[in-house]
Structure 1
Amino acid sequence: MFGVNDLKDLKKMDKDDLLHLIGLETRKDTADYLLPALGAFTVGVLLGVGVGLMLAPKPGNELRNDLRNRFQTGQETLTGAGAQRSENVTRGV
């Protein structure tokens, strides 16, 4: 049967170790399949956008200026939203 040392070793094991010991594994849920797929999809979309921008019919300087303006506008929007949120938290709204 089990000795005292064997029981102490069993207490140190987590669920996956115990299941592996008897030849089983945990059941994967939907998130285990969905999150990697969403990550790959997101990377694909970002790469597609990047390639599309690089192949755009605008000259390089004009494209870079447009991108810089868009990023600055996005930063200003995020900064304004963050400031408004912190102000609401301070006021207790």
Structure 2
Amino acid sequence: MSLHDELTAAERTLDELARAVERLERRLGDGLDVRRVRTDTDHLGDSLRLLRAGAGTAHTTRTDGDRVVPVPDAPYDSALWSDADDEGLGAKDRHAP
């Protein structure tokens, strides 16, 4: 099964879960526990959409002008900032107001 198929299956399963939570809410009312489960289900949906977007299988298409620019996890060289002041904090040898 491809990644796209796996994500689609997860979305379908999540839709079924959302419907089941809706039915439970009708039977049990809008109590704290039901609201928590509904919120968790919504968060799972958000996470699944982020996962799909991060996996590069989003439903939207890119134009030729859009480029993905990788950002390294390694820290930047501090020498790049040797001539810059911390904006909003004042210069290194003076105190902030």
TM-score, normalised on structure 2?
0.32
Q: Comparing both chains, which one has the higher relative contact order based on Cα–Cα distances under 8 Å and sequence gaps of 6 or more?
A: 2
Larger Rg: 1
Q: Which has the higher helix share?
A: 1
TM-score, normalised on structure 1?
0.33
